[in-house]
Amino acid sequence: MSSFTDSGPSSDPRRLTNRNTNRYSVNQLYSMAAENDTDIEDDLSRAQKRLRDLKARISAQSKKNFVLERDVRYLDSRIALLIQNRMALDEQNEVQQHLEEIEPNEGAFPPERRLTQYSNLFFLLQSEPRHIASLCRLVSLSEIDTLLQTVMFTLYGNQYESREEHLLLTMFQSVLSAQFETATEFGSLLRANTPVSRMMTTYTRRGPGQSYLKSVLSDRINGLIEHRDLNLEINPLKVYEQMVTQIEEETGTLPPNLPRGVPPETAAANPDVQAIIAPRLTMLMEIANSFLLTIIESMESAPYGIRWICKQIRSLTRRKYPDATDYAICSLIGGFFFLRFVNPAVVTPQAFMLVDGVPAKHPRRTLTLIAKMLQNLANKPSYAKEQYMSSLNPFVENNKARINLFLNNLCEVGDFYDTLEMDQYMALSKKDLMIHITLNELRPNIYFNISSPTPGTFIIALHYKGREKAILEMDLKIDDLLEKQKDNKHLLDLEYVQLNVPKVLALLNKIFSKKK
């Protein structure tokens, strides 16, 4: 069997013809590059290294984008408060404390001992997603952004590494299971603006999801916005107002039968308005069909995590509501895939870097209408607030079966539990397992509380940002510490952590001697 070796400048890896040998050699070089980070003199290895670097940059940029979006939302709320009442000095300081330093260059760094302790803590939280899942169910909507930054882009910030991705999805499974268990109405599931729905939206903003949206939607959207003057407005009231404005500009006056300020019913009954809208409806349905076809054909390239969450939604719905129809179940899946994932990119493509700059007025309105059509297709359509959208109902009826088939096929992905078990084992053997976290994330959010419910017993509780309920608790008995001290042993193993006996005894003595 031939082997892939670098025998000098004349070596050419393209001469290899044995496929098995070639695949083995690529994996071997990848491992060498990952573990040793050495410069290997061949094009394939350099390309692999560059790919890893680009993935790391995408992960870091996704975190920065989320932080900036979070800060914008926070500033919006502060501006609203400022308008209502003049902001006091302490509130101004609060704003400054909430803003994230994107690239801090200096500051006090934790000592080595504390850094090691935090490292063990975060490895525990990362490896045992149930603790984060419990915390996610406790935080309020106003607190969720800070938590999501730490969870999505720090604890599981390596968005292209299978172990971290699978651990994050395990956390999602726990959160979704709890959401379904406490649900009281089918219609409200996953639709309200809750911490869970915000989590699902944030997950779609990670690197793999953004890459998918760009590859699938970018060409379609750019082709549409090139037609800056293409007006496809179908709201009769807006069409009527545009029509009378144009007549007034061309003739300098308005006919008596075309007054301004008419009610929607009068505008919709106008024959000229109907004649303007009719071809626009046809064109809108053609455009929406082209978007839908592109999305359906891209199913295999949809990120695994997105598809797996869809699978969990279907599984949990069937378990909670065994009598639910396939159409009803698909409406929940579509609520996540379209409402939380695809449609935001259609409505505001500039925010997802799918286009350069903000689209012009008419294409922007067309994209909004397309998103509404896709959402009505994925969900049970309701035209109570926008009666004019019912004119596009043929698009929904003609594609209902096709979209249900697509959403069900989207759920057909395998599980990862066996792979995760192996990844967890391999992670323990790695020397360079790293979590990148800033001091701003570390300090205000997590702290320990030690209490003594009865003499000789202690509870060490891990808290997050002022939450009364701990996310992790460990029982400790003074007898166990004293026994270790008597045997001249300095370490005590608990369920999750290893304690330094002399230091813990000194700490307990310091804390509880003050309370006597």
Cβ atoms of 364 and 441 closer than 8 Å: no
Distance CA 512, CA 27 (A): 56
Decide which of 319 and 77 is more confident.
319
238: pLDDT strictly greater than 90: yes
459: pLDDT strictly greater than 70: yes
How many other C-beta atoms are found inside a 10 Å radius of the C-beta of residue 145?
Answer: 20
Decide which of 39 and 448 is more confident.
448
Decide which of 372 and 158 is more confident.
372
Q: Classify residue 274 by burial, with Cβ atoms within 10 Å: 0-12, 13-18, 19+.
A: middle
List, edge to edge, every strand of the sheet that includes 446-451.
446-451, 457-464, 472-477
491: pLDDT strictly greater than 80: yes
What is the Cα 463 distance to its own chain's centre?
A: 24
Distance CA 474, CA 496 (A): 8
Query: What's the confidence (pLDDT) of residue 261?
Result: 87
pLDDT averaged over the chain? 78
**Beta carbons within 8 Å of 447's beta carbon, 6+ residues apart:** 463
CA angle (120 as vertex; 58, 462 as ends), nearest 5: 100
Q: Please state the φ and ψ torsions of residue 71, each to the nearest 5 degrees.
A: -65, -35
pLDDT band at 2 (very low <50, low <70, confident <90, very high): very low
Query: What's the confidence (pLDDT) of residue 181?
Result: 86
pLDDT band at 290 (very low <50, low <70, confident <90, very high): very high
3-state SS record for 242-257: HHHHHHHHHHCCCCCC
Mean pLDDT of 375-392: 84
Mean pLDDT of 436-452: 64
Q: Which of 364, 360, 366, 347 is nearest to 234 (CA)?
A: 366
H-type alpha helices, 182-229: 195-204, 207-225
Residue position matching structure tokens 């270790």: 484
Mean pLDDT of 304-317: 93
Decide which of 129 and 34 is more confident.
129
Averaging pLDDT over each range in 13-27, 30-44, 64-78, which range is the top one? 64-78
Mean pLDDT of 177-189: 81
